[in-house]
Amino acid sequence: MRVAIYARYSSDLQDRRSIGDQIALARARADRDGWTVVEVYSDAAISGSFLHTRPGLLDLMVGAKERRFDAVLTESLDRLSRDQADMIGLHKRLTHWGIKIVTLADGEVNKLHVGIKSLVNSIFLDDLAQKTRRGQIGRVREGRFPGGRCYGYDNVPGDASKRVINEAQAAVVRRIYQEYVDGRSAIQIATRLNAEGVPSPFGGHWNASTINGSRARASGIISNPLYAGRAIWNRQRFVKDPETGKRTPKVNPQAEWIEVQVPELAIIGEELFAAAMAKRSRFADKPIVQRRRPKHLLSGLVHCGCCGGSMIVAQRERFGCSNALNKGTCDNRRPIRIDEIQERVLAVLKAQLLAPDVVAAAVEAYRKRRNELATAAAGRRRQAQKDLAAVDRKIAGIISAIEAGGDPRALAQRINALEAERREIASALPDESRSSVVQLHPRAADRYRAKVVEIQEALAGGRDVDVSALAAARDLIDRIVVKPGAKYAPQGLELVGNLAVLLADDPEPSQSTILMVAGGGLEPPT
């Protein structure tokens, strides 16, 4: 029987030799029963509570679907998954493909094992989370910190749960509070710190949000009561999304917050902290509304011509440089109206995309680029075919050696290794259809024009733009660069567009890109 071994351990705090120990025990079991180990998969320092974050297990499922082995051999079911739904799904799919699950603890696994053990493992996770939380609460009440450290503090050598004040960073914290109380805004403070080269908590530039933080979670430099000698824990919890496996923060009710006095860690006085909170309380009567801004046609495509940073929606339907607004690291403080930039961009798309010379250049550039890619793919395919032939010759030689009386057990592992190499080469073999030279249809230019007209007609609806047309128009644009220019002069625009999307039946941005830079024709509307 051909078996695949799977091993896993959960966190960085566990011994990395755990993987090797699991594999060694599984190999010993396979040798004892005369099984052939054809694949070994593993996931190191990854929780078993979610399937899609474990590349080793995902690779195992691919191998199972391709029938590379007859059984999965692992230490116990909780190595495969501790989630009840995932474990049942794994067993169902493997059974459908004719693949057995064998564990060192229970032998061949059946539905009864899966039902009972997956339930027990799921309960274990909940129990572990509760015990971990209880232990964290106990450490907080002792004045310790189960989480990461914040700006202004260092870990105590030898005890990562204790903190000591970092005097250099503490001076910056005092300065931020004093300047905030004196009337400076968060962006003004961030701008001054960046101008002086003061490193931020993460070593880069200061951002206004680093200072302000979130009012709901009481985060940020200004809202952190630890600077006044009060540690607050359990302000938020993390919930794992069952579809993506990502942990998302959820704010806990203030009644569940745990506060502990730690006067030895106070960086500022209670009076200064209260003054900062009083200033910020001016915004407390405004409800905290979680909403997404409307998606504009050009959102995410507009860049500042001074610093190269992205331009974001700000100041009532205007684009502004994010680095100037949030960090103060850019001098470009001229906003540009969204309707103006959108009107100018759409005008140049209409005017220039149908110009005969642009159409001809786009068709020829597309043809050349696709032919270059096809030639390269053909070369890779020829080399892969040579490698496959070499592997096949080696396999044939080993089979001949076995037929001549060689030890089949000693040579079986070599055959398995060569078969794995053969599958890897075959999976990377370029598609023959992509290795042929591209011959564009004689009416490619007409198809190009038809697509442009279709987009123009759809965009003529103003605000009621069809979603598919909006997506098509966005695909045409690689980026838009805004150049502020003189104080009272109109701002310059540079449009970099990708014309390949108008020519390919199924365009792939990584393989078919034709950039057009348009400066002229983007004059402001009169």
Q: Which is higher by pLDDT, 433 or 310? A: 310
Confidence category of residue 319, pLDDT binned at 50, 70, 90: confident
Is 442's pLDDT higher than 60? no
Q: Which is higher by pLDDT, 248 or 263? A: 263
Q: Enumerate residues 6+ apart whose C-beta is below 8 A from 398.
A: 406, 411, 414, 415, 418
- Average pLDDT of 414-440? 65
Give the DSSP letter string of 95-161. HHTT-EEEETTTEE--HHHHHHHHHHHHHHHHHHHHHHHHHHHHHHHTT--SS---TTEEEETTEEE
- DSSP label of 487: S
Mean pLDDT of the chain: 76
Q: What is the pLDDT of residue 292?
A: 47
Is 4's pLDDT higher than 90? yes
d(CA 502, CA 451): 6
Length of the chain as a residue count = 526
**Nearest CA among 135, 14, 4 for reference residue 63:** 4
- Give per-residue pLDDT as tens, 24-50: 999 999 999 999 999 999 887 666 556
Distances, alpha carbon 381 to alpha carbons 384, 422, 429, 431, in Å: 5, 14, 6, 8
Query: 279-293, 448-462, 473-487: lowest mean pLDDT where?
Result: 279-293
Buried b (16+ CB within 10 A) or exposed e, 246-263: eeeeeeeeeeeeeebebe
- DSSP label of 72: E
Q: What is the pLDDT of residue 433?
A: 53
* pTM exceeding the 0.95 threshold for the entire prediction: no
Q: What is the pLDDT of residue 344?
A: 80
Q: Which is higher by pLDDT, 435 or 274? A: 274
Strongest mean pLDDT among 51-55, 264-268, 345-349: 264-268
Q: What is the pLDDT of residue 518?
A: 52
Q: What is the pLDDT of residue 106?
A: 86
Is 301's pLDDT higher than 60? yes
Q: What is the pLDDT of residue 438?
A: 43
Is 79's pLDDT higher than 80? yes
Q: What is the pLDDT of residue 490?
A: 81
Is 219's pLDDT higher than 80? no
Query: 176-185, 279-288, 458-467: lowest mean pLDDT where?
Result: 458-467
Q: What is the pLDDT of residue 333?
A: 85
Is 131's pLDDT higher than 60? yes
Confidence category of residue 380, pLDDT binned at 50, 70, 90: confident
Q: Enumerate residues 6+ apart whose C-beta is below 8 A from 166.
A: 152, 153, 154
Give the DSSP letter string of 386-441. HHHHHHHHHHHHHHHHHHTT--HHHHHHHHHHHHHHHHHHHHTPPPGGGSSPP---
- β-strand pairing of 492-498 with 515-518: antiparallel
Give the DSSP letter string of 292-340. PPP--TTTTTEEETTT--BEEEETTTEEEEHHHHHT--------EEHHH
- DSSP label of 258: E
Residue 488: exposed, middle, or buried by beta-carbon count in 10 A (0-12, 13-18, 19+)?
exposed
Is 139's pLDDT higher than 50? yes
- Average pLDDT of 366-370? 70
Q: What is the pLDDT of residue 19?
A: 83
* Backbone dihedral angles phi then psi of residue 159, each to the nearest 5 degrees: -145, 95
Q: Which is higher by pLDDT, 454 or 525? A: 454
Buried b (16+ CB within 10 A) or exposed e, 154-182: eeeeeeebbbebbeebbebbbebbebbbe
- Average pLDDT of 211-234? 82
Contact 347, 432 (CB under 8 A): no
Side by side, the strands of the sheet bearing 515-518 are 302-304, 477-483, 492-498, 515-518
Confidence category of residue 172, pLDDT binned at 50, 70, 90: very high
Contact 72, 100 (CB under 8 A): yes
d(CA 333, CA 408): 76
- Give per-residue pLDDT as tens, 269-289: 999 999 988 888 765 544 444
Contact 425, 384 (CB under 8 A): yes
Percent of the residues in the chain that have a pLDDT greater than 70, as a whole number: 69
d(CA 260, CA 226): 9
Q: Which residue has the tokens 């057009």?
A: 516
d(CA 143, CA 381): 64
**Nearest CA among 62, 13, 71 for reference residue 37:** 71
- Residue 305 carries which side chain, given as an amino acid letter? G
Q: What is the pLDDT of residue 322?
A: 86
- Average pLDDT of 193-209? 88
- Structural tokens at position 164: 């000591």
Percent of the residues in the chain that have a pLDDT greater than 90, as a whole number: 17
Is 47 strand, coil or helix?
coil
Is 304's pLDDT higher than 60? yes
On the CB side of 96, CA atoms within 13 Å amount to 9
Q: What is the pLDDT of residue 14?
A: 46
Is 295's pLDDT higher than 60? no
